């Protein structure tokens, strides 16, 4: 949509909202469109497109006729929009409910649902002032969706289009292209699953996203209708947990402390047809359920670990290593980083602008006098973009109206006021994405006892369900992972220390360095990705901020000292897993379309898109010794381009790992 079209749609909306009797097409043509071309056919097509656009925004354009006249007669047909059409009902929330809602809106680590959650929160804030709340220390959970496939599937699911994707079947180990009607997405057993109708097999099936071997392709001409009573949570609850099995792995002596910590007695309790461990190695037995999950870990250990049994596990590790080696040896594509990295803008810029303006007016009505920088920050735009929105708004109003019939917005002395809103003072209803993002987030928080207690979670969920209407019912197609900490005792110790300001003594295992260290830390905040919890702390050993995984903490206790008063968490919410330092190494990596989400995970400084949907990214790493592990772990989704020496090291490391598998 061009800028003129955005302004035209806004004026058409205002005109249809502010008429009781309705406006004829000729009146709209003259007063809103200012069209004197005389081409009735061209104008008719434009008007029908604009009505469809308003309906896509959720506004019901009513068609009225005089008694006895047909709707086909443009001279007697009138149009209007009811004042309550597509308006978000008032939602009154108390401070505790706002706290819970803020937690839910920040759950999505990235992906389209993160944007949708923030948009939904802005709509609620636009209908009234948000209470001043603070996130409780130790309760900042986040959900990290499963890469680009997740976004593509959510979009197809909500637009109800079929999809195709290459898939590695768990039963046969063969890769096949599947065509599926996506009914729902959910997390169980630490994995994301798609559930839908498999057209080739003519029955409902579930697919694990980690087994997708290529990108998801949406079929825009292939529509479907899911079962009316489908609920992804109930469907996933029926999935049986994979049986516990034993893996046999040969490990280099003195290495891989994290793996050894989970091993059973040395040796194995099953008969295997395999030669004895090579010199300098010892054989371990490990319990596992999912061979793909264990294969990802074992591939990251490269030549230090060789899976021996079962054969399925051996093939899975080798497949990852060979894919990583093949990608690392492929020709380097042509790419160029832009001179100034542009701010990321989603598709449909003008459509987003109109959506934003429909949120902006009610927000200004309920938040008079805010500084223009604060308003721009709230909507995630620059001051220039916001002023462009405001200039369009102040030129919009009733057709051929007087000055009092225009939206009246002023921003003198950089403080924004609105005195005429023309019935745009209520935000529009939630979209399906917005309703799913918030309601799924609230459902996910049920796993945290500190949040679920007190009734605020239940009450805000019921209020949002009532406000979301039909869109809220479709939240049953999405289910988040469990976010409760695995080690409640360690979580409680760290959280109590944050609240009381106590310093902690920590015994910590670092798999990347393959070492256990002791250190004193000032804990600052707790947060999670899915059910993996971290805490950010000032580490006195390195004299800087660091992040520690709770499941790698071997021992933690207060040391009797107090946290320094000037200690503060790194800026930004949510917390970042990696804290940049001046001595970091800048590494240039190439990512496939499947792996491009890693650029956001590792906070890339610059990116350059590639024609195949992948990208090249510059990422800063404090330590580079573990990067070959990083390349192997992602099995062909990432490779190192620069520095050349580091790329050579990764290739040599992969070759050494593959040499242990023979031909």
pLDDT per residue over 529-538, tens digit each? 877 888 889 9
- Residue 471 pLDDT: 81
- CA–CA separation, 357 vs 13, rounded Å? 12
Q: Which of 81-85, 207-211, 285-289, 652-656 has the lowest mean pLDDT?
A: 81-85
Q: Which of 71-80, 87-96, 514-523 has the lowest mean pLDDT?
A: 71-80
Of 106, 110, 103, the closest CA to residue 601 belongs to 110
- Residue 650 pLDDT: 94
- Residue 161 pLDDT: 94
Residue 147 has which token pair? Answer: 């890469």
pLDDT in tens, 380-405: 888 888 888 888 888 787 776 666 67
| Phi and psi at residue 56, to the nearest 5° | -65, -30
* Cis ω for the linkage preceding 72 (within 30 of 0): no
- Residue 270 pLDDT: 53
pLDDT in tens, 410-441: 887 889 888 887 777 778 888 888 888 888 88
Q: What is the mean pLDDT of residues 157-183?
A: 87
Cβ contact 538:582 at 8 Å: no
Q: E-assigned strands of 123-236?
A: 161-168, 175-188, 191-198, 203-208, 217-223
- 309: which strand partners? 248
Of 473, 462, 463, the closest CA to residue 435 belongs to 473
- Residue 545 pLDDT: 84
Q: Are strands 408-410 and 515-529 parallel, antiparallel or unpaired?
A: unpaired
Of 4, 17, 5, the closest CA to residue 398 belongs to 17
pTM over 0.85: no
Residue 624 has which token pair? Answer: 């580079």
Instruction: Please give the residue that has the higher pLDDT: either 464 or 56.
Output: 464
Distances (CA, A) of 14 to 23, 104, 248, 420, 598: 12, 33, 70, 12, 43
- Residue 532 pLDDT: 85
| Phi and psi at residue 241, to the nearest 5° | -70, 140
pLDDT in tens, 296-328: 999 999 999 999 999 999 999 999 999 999 999
- Residue 548 pLDDT: 92
CB atoms within 10 A of CB 2: 8
- Residue 72 pLDDT: 62
pLDDT in tens, 547-565: 899 989 999 999 999 988 7
């Amino acid at each position: 949509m061009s800028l003129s079209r955005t302004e035209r749609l806004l004026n058409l909306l205002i005109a249809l909202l502010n008429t009781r009797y309705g406006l004829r097409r000729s009146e709209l043509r003259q007063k809103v469109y200012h069209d004197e071309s005389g081409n009735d056919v061209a104008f008719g097509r434009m008007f029908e497109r604009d009505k469809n656009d308003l309906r896509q925004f959720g506004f019901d354009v009513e068609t009225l006729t005089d008694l006895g006249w047909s709707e086909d007669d443009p001279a007697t047909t009138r149009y209007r929009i009811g004042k309550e059409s597509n308006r978000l009902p008032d939602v009154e929330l108390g401070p505790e409910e706002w706290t819970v809602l803020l937690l839910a809106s920040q759950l999505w680590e990235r992906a389209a649902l993160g944007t949708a959650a923030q948009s939904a929160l802005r709509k609620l804030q636009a209908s009234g002032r948000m209470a001043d709340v603070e996130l409780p220390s130790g309760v900042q959970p986040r959900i990290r969706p499963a890469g680009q496939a997740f976004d593509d599937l959510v979009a197809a699911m909500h637009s109800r289009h079929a999809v195709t994707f290459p898939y590695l079947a768990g039963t046969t180990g063969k890769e096949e292209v599947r065509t599926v009607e996506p009914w729902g997405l959910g997390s169980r057993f630490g994995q994301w699953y798609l559930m839908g109708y498999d057209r080739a097999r003519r029955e409902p099936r579930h697919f694990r996203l980690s087994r997708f071997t290529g990108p998801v392709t949406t079929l825009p001409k292939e529509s479907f209708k899911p079962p009316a009573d489908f609920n992804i949570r109930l469907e996933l609850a029926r999935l049986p947990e994979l049986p516990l099995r034993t893996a046999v792995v040969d490990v280099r002596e003195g290495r891989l402390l994290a793996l050894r910590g989970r091993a059973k007695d040395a040796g194995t309790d099953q008969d295997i047809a395999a030669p004895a461990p090579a010199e300098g190695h010892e054989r371990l037995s490990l319990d596992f359920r999912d061979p793909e999950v264990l294969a990802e870990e074992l591939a990251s250990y490269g030549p230090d670990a060789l899976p021996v049994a079962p054969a399925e596990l051996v093939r899975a590790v080798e497949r990852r290593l060979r894919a990583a080696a093949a990608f690392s040896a492929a020709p380097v594509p042509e790419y160029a980083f832009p001179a100034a990295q542009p701010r990321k803008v989603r598709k449909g810029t003008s459509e987003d602008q109109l959506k934003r303006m429909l949120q902006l007016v009610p927000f200004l009505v309920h938040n008079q006098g805010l500084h223009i920088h604060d308003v721009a920050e709230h909507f995630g735009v620059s001051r220039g973009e916001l002023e462009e929105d405001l200039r369009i708004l102040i030129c919009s109003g009733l057709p051929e109206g007087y000055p009092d019939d225009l939206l009246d917005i002023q921003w003198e002395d950089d403080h924004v006021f609105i005195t005429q809103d023309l019935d745009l003072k209520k935000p529009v209803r939630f979209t399906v994405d917005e309703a799913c993002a918030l309601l799924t987030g609230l459902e996910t928080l049920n796993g945290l006892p500190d949040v679920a207690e007190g009734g605020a979670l239940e009450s805000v969920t019921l209020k949002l369900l009532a406000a979301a209407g039909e869109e809220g019912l479709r939240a049953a197609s999405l289910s988040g992972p469990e976010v409760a900490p695995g080690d409640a005792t360690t979580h409680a110790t760290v959280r109590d220390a944050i609240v009381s300001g106590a310093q902690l003594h920590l015994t910590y295992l670092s798999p990347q360095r393959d070492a256990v260290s002791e250190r004193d830390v000032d804990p600052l905040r707790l947060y999670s990705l899915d059910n993996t919890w971290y805490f950010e702390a000032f580490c006195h050993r390195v004299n800087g901020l660091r992040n520690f995984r709770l499941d790698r903490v071997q021992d933690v206790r207060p040391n009797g000292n107090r946290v320094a008063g000037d200690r503060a968490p790194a800026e930004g919410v949510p917390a970042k897993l990696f804290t940049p330092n001046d001595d970091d190494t800048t590494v240039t990596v190439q990512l496939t379309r499947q792996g491009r989400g890693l650029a956001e995970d590792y906070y890339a400084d610059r990116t350059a898109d590639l024609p195949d949907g992948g990208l090249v990214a510059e990422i800063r790493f404090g330590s580079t010794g573990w990067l070959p592990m990083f390349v192997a772990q992602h099995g062909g989704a990432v490779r190192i381009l620069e520095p050349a020496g580091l790329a050579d090291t990764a290739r040599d490391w992969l070759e050494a790992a593959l040499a242990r598998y023979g031909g």
